[in-house]
């Protein structure tokens, strides 16, 4: 009987230890605030949402959007939290914003907190570029002034010149791209978006039309659709 009890206690201890260690590793691996990953055509504007992926209470958050200033310019920041006060310094070189509230505000899962609007500069290189929000731990706290530990997972913007398959340049791949490409190939159209080079081999020809039409009925994939080098 004693033996059974002892092994039961040991089993409970083992399970508890496992759960605790899993809990610790899960929370360490789970970022609290995440910056979105987006795609954007060079020269266009992109909005990146900053969202919470778990419930967490805050009364003050100060963030500095961080990105390569030779690739992006900041257009603005919006606060999506309905309560509290929001202030953005509108300094394109050193952007910062603050949100605060007189009492705790608890985020919900996947709640969008802020939206950062960026413009991709005309001479920006194509590729994946990191965008994040920097912060100082001392500026993120709850209603009692206690610091709230925050992890931020950086986001990105993948910039591109054209989308493979998008012959008409509306950033979508649809039936109208097939029509546009077919008309171009028989000289009914004289200008076409570079995205008409569906297979990315540098020329626009019948093989692209075949690939595009097969893509639209799921017979083929388009590799590297954002035309990355
Ligand atoms: Ca299109
Ligand atoms: Ca081609």
What's the pLDDT tens digit per position in 112-154? 999 999 999 999 999 999 999 999 999 999 999 999 999 999 9
What's the CA-to-centroid distance between 207 and ligand 2, angstroms? Answer: 6
- Count of CA atoms in the C-beta half-sphere (13 A) of 18: 6
pLDDT of 26 reads 44
CA of 3 to the centre of ligand 1 (A): 73
Tell me the per-residue pLDDT of 11-62, one tens digit each, with 9 for 90 and over: 544 444 444 444 444 444 456 899 999 999 999 999 999 999 889 999 999 9
Ligand having the closest approach to the CA of 200: 2
- CATH top class, domain 162-229: mainly alpha
Ligand 1 centre to CA of 222 (Å) is 14
Q: Residue 33 in contact with residue 52, Cβ under 8 Å?
A: yes
Yes or no: domain 33-160 corresponds to CATH 2.60.40.680: yes
Spatial distance between the Cα atoms of 3 and 13, rounded to a whole number of angstroms: 15
Domain ranges (residues) in the chain = 1-30, 33-160, 162-229
Distance CA 32, CA 51 (A): 8
pTM of the model: 0.76
For residue 97, the cross-strand partners are 63, 88
Are the CB atoms for 121 and 72 separated by under 8 Å?
yes
The pLDDT value recorded for residue 17 is 47
Task: List the structure tokens of 193.
Answer: 């978006």
- Give φ, ψ of 30 to 5 degrees: -100, 110
């Amino acid at each position: 009987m004693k033996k059974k009890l002892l092994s039961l206690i040991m089993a409970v201890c083992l399970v508890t230890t496992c759960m605790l260690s899993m809990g610790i590793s899960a929370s360490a691996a789970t970022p609290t605030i995440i910056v979105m990953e987006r795609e954007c055509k060079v020269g266009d504007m992109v909005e990146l949402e900053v969202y919470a992926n778990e419930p967490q209470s805050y009364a003050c958050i100060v963030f500095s959007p961080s990105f390569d200033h030779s690739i992006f310019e900041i257009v603005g920041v919006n606060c999506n939290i309905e309560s509290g006060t929001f202030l953005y310094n509108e300094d394109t070189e050193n952007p910062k914003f603050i949100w605060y509230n007189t009492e705790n505000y608890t985020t919900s899962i996947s709640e969008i907190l802020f939206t950062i609007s960026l413009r991709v500069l005309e001479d920006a290189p194509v590729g994946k570029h990191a965008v994040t929000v920097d912060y100082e731990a001392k500026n993120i706290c709850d209603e009692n002034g206690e610091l709230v530990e925050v992890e931020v997972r950086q986001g990105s913007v993948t910039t591109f010149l054209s989308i493979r398959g998008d012959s008409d340049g509306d950033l979508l791949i649809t039936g109208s791209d097939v029509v546009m490409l077919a008309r171009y190939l028989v000289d009914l159209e004289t200008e076409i978006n570079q995205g008409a080079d569906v297979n990315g081999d540098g020329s626009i020809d019948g093989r692209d039309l075949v690939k595009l039409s097969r893509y639209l009925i799921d017979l083929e994939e388009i590799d590297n659709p954002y035309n990355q080098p």
